[in-house]
């Protein structure tokens, strides 16, 4: 059975999920790499300057991912709203079609 494109997940939405997944993997990789560099701060190379710089970079990486995630989430919510509106339009059109086909009076 073939699905109607009107009732399938839109390609742009699937692409957005893919982009989010890819960016999430990249952010995780960046954070893991950063955590791996923490060993460079072990004695005898430990210094306040190195620890402070490492912490600042960790905070920046986390903040950047948080901002990017919020932007993706906003886009996904907007897409969801558009999808809801489109599905409501299609449902109303289907109801009218069924009603007219059954000999009823159109509501439009």
Q: What is the pLDDT of residues 48-67, one digit of tens each?
A: 999 999 999 999 999 999 99
**C-alpha distance from residue 97 to each of 2, 63, 91, 94, 105 (Å):** 21, 51, 10, 5, 10
Q: What is the pLDDT of residues 20-36, one digit of tens each?
A: 999 999 999 999 999 99
Q: What is the pLDDT of residues 79-98, one digit of tens each?
A: 889 889 988 999 999 999 99
Burial label, 91 (beta-carbon count in 10 A; 0-12, 13-18, 19+) = exposed
Cα(95)–Cα(66) distance, integer angstroms: 43
Nearest to 23 by CA among 85, 76, 96: 76
């Amino acid at each position: 059975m073939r699905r109607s494109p009107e009732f399938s997940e839109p390609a742009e939405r699937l692409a957005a999920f893919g982009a989010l997944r890819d960016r999430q993997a990249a952010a995780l990789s960046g954070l893991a790499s950063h955590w791996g560099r923490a060993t460079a701060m072990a004695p005898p190379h430990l210094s306040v300057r190195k620890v402070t710089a490492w912490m600042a970079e960790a905070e920046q990486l986390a903040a950047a991912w948080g901002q990017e995630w919020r932007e993706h989430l906003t886009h996904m919510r907007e897409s969801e709203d558009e999808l809801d509106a489109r599905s409501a339009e299609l449902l109303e059109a289907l109801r009218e079609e069924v009603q007219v086909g059954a000999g009823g009076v159109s509501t439009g």
